[in-house]
Amino acid sequence: MGLARFLIVAVLTALAGGALAEPIRISTRSGVLIGEQRRDGSEAFLGVPFARPPVGHLRWKAPQPPPAWTGDRTALKSGPACLQISRGWNAADAARSSEDCLYLDVRAPRHEPGARLPVMVWVHGGANHAGSGAGTVESALVDQGVVLVSVQYRLGVLGFLSHPDLTQEQGGASGNYALMDILAALRWVRDNIAAVGGDPDNVTLFGHSAGGQDVGLVMLSPQARGLFARGILQSGMPGFGFAPRSLKQNEAMGLSLGEGVGARSLAQLREIAGTDLLKAAEHLKAPIDDQGFIWTQAVIDGVVLPKAPDVLLADPAVKPMIVGSSAREIALFDGNAERAIAWVRDTFGARAPQLLALYGLDRDPLPAADPLRGDAVLQLATDRMFRCPAVSVAALRQQAGGKVWRYELAVPPPGQAVVGHGSELTNVFDSPAEGRPPMQAYWAAFAHTGDPNASGLPPWPAENGAGRRLVFAPDGPRAEQGGEPACRFLTRP
């Protein structure tokens, strides 16, 4: 999931050089912001606080409304990334990270006074423990007539931890503070986006990888009602194919963290340096079979997420969505066939031979790698965490009467030989170009009308119970359906 942040920065760096034409002033509920009007007529406001800094006694609490200010506040630079440890790919974000990080960026295209343009709110990826939203609003997506917003949210142990004392302090639930941050950012959009020509009643929430998961979970939260119109989940489903974590299980991790840092009370835990907490959290164990995805296991806290994702997906009130993934994504099991086979046998028991046979994992030697999907272990990993969860989400929403469109990306980005995790980012954010899948056009159509279909685009049929999807292939998008037998076994959303 680190690759996602790397790719999006590469895509947007060339677009970020819009020179200042003149200052521009808008009024928000907290005070006046001074942004810049670019030479192309677009308006940008960066580093806008949407909540009070979650530090000190506000650590592990729901985000509070931002403090008001008097006079003008300059909004020309993105805020710091949320506190994180460097894992190589995110070194730049880690170096400028801080617990004081609840800021958003906004960029609107040239518009007339009183405009009501569709709004797209981006949630960055990074396994819920790294990454940032900086640079995203420089995207050419704005040229499609949308107001683009990029939000940040608390990461890792600071964004997702529960603890029995927190649960008592907060009325019976704790954890999922990162999801609360996204909800707070959506409330800021509702209250202020009209100042830059955005329509608060036409908001599309979208994200990639862990950001896609967070979009999906926010869409399922009762607290999100009325804050957006639809969502796009790119290579990140609400459960990532894992069983959800209970509040008690998440509280146990909080107790382990306290023991690990020698804190005997919640007050002491809040006094410990955030970087020390992140280091200690590296040793936490979750009830999940791959600890590398510890912060992408959905937590049923009882309030933000009151029930398991598969139950909430059956609610007819859930908004329309686009879901999908790339033909190959992220490896699990350390790429080791023996580990993959052992997981299948442990998980599926008497049904395991059928699933192993689908991938050729019952053969010796194993089958040669598929040019598009990779070797058998990578195919299983992609299906387990991405493709089949997308199938399950689409099926559950269709059965509940919801509108859902599914896709699969089979075209690698420029300069790469194979498709992979994050390959869709160039298509969504970069300027359209010949040979590039028209994902940006579909996304913009969805934001404008609630339907990705538009004039000049190949038809994209919604799910109807037959496993419909749009495949972004080298020769152009084409509709397909059915033919995904592994997803009869891998059914978690």
Q: Please state, in angstroms and as integers, the Cα–Cα distance from residue 177 to each residue in 153, 214, 303, 304, following that order.
A: 8, 11, 11, 9
DSSP state of 274: H
**Rounded-to-integer distance, Cα 295 and Cα 61, Å:** 18
Helix (H, G, I), strand (E, B) or coil at 57: helix
421 is catalytic: yes
**Rounded-to-integer distance, Cα 64 and Cα 86, Å:** 28
Catalytic residue among 329, 408, 424, 463: 329
**Rounded-to-integer distance, Cα 424 and Cα 324, Å:** 10
DSSP state of 67: P
> Contact, 246 vs 298, CB < 8 A?
no
Q: What is the DSSP string of 104-162?
A: EEEEE-S--TT--EEEEEEE--STTTS---TTGGGSGGGGGT-EEEEE----HHHHH--
Pairing of strands 72-74, 32-38: parallel
Angle ∠(195,199,204) on CA atoms, nearest 5: 125
**Rounded-to-integer distance, Cα 377 and Cα 382, Å:** 9
**Rounded-to-integer distance, Cα 225 and Cα 306, Å:** 14
Q: Where are the alpha helices (DSSP H) in 430-478?
A: 439-449
Catalytic residue among 421, 423, 424, 463: 421
Stated as kind and residue range, the H or E segment containing 78 is: none
Cα end-to-end span (Å), the chain:
18
Stated as kind and residue range, the H or E segment containing 470 is: strand 468-473
448 is catalytic: no
Pairing of strands 468-473, 476-481: antiparallel
480 is catalytic: no
Closest residue by Cα to residue 373 from 414, 424, 419 = 419
> Contact, 398 vs 181, CB < 8 A?
no
Catalytic residue among 139, 150, 162, 209: 209
Active site residues: 209, 329, 421
